[in-house]
Amino acid sequence: MTDFKLDFTKQDGLIPVIVTDYQTNQVLMLAYMNEESYHLTLETKEMHYWSRSRQEIWHKGESSGHYQYVKSIKTDCDQDTLLIAVKQKGAACHTGAYSCFFKDIYPN
């Protein structure tokens, strides 16, 4: 694994994380990481985020059982956003939907 220096300085120590299903590439959710949650994710190969509402580390699936297992991690050109493909167990969305992106605003 290549060690990238991610830029956590632009958004008060947080970087956005776009999470996709590793098999279908479907976008599952958008969340945020701080450096600690990022390193926990690398160490455990399970997704950890920073909860902006609770102001604490959030291990995805810890209370729901809907874990996310890391399959790949990519960063953008500025190294301030992550794109992470996961194996999703259960629903990604707190509503029970597989993806958080299920409400149509403009039809295609």
The CATH number assigned to the domain holding 81 equals: 3.10.20.810
Q: In this predicted structure, what is the pLDDT of residue 3?
A: 64
CB 68 within 8 A of CB 61: yes
CB 72 within 8 A of CB 57: no
According to the annotation, is 78 in a ligand binding site? yes
The string of pLDDT tens digits covering residues 10-62 is 888 999 999 999 999 999 999 999 999 999 999 999 999 999 999 999 999 99
Count of structural domains within the chain: 1
According to the annotation, is 76 in a ligand binding site? yes
For residue 38, the enclosing domain spans 25-88
d(CA 49, CA 58): 5
* Residue 98 covered by a domain: no
SS (H, E, C) 17-69: EEEEECCCCCEEEEEEECHHHHHHHHHHCECEEEECCCCEEEECCCCCCCCEE
Q: Is the pLDDT of residue 2 over 70?
A: no
According to the annotation, is 104 in a ligand binding site? no
Question: In the structure, what pLDDT confidence band is assigned to residue 70 with cuts at 50, 70 and 90?
Answer: very high
Q: In this predicted structure, what is the pLDDT of residue 107?
A: 83
According to the annotation, is 3 in a ligand binding site? no
According to the annotation, is 93 in a ligand binding site? yes
Question: In the structure, what pLDDT confidence band is assigned to residue 105 with cuts at 50, 70 and 90?
Answer: very high
According to the annotation, is 12 in a ligand binding site? no
* Residue 4 covered by a domain: no
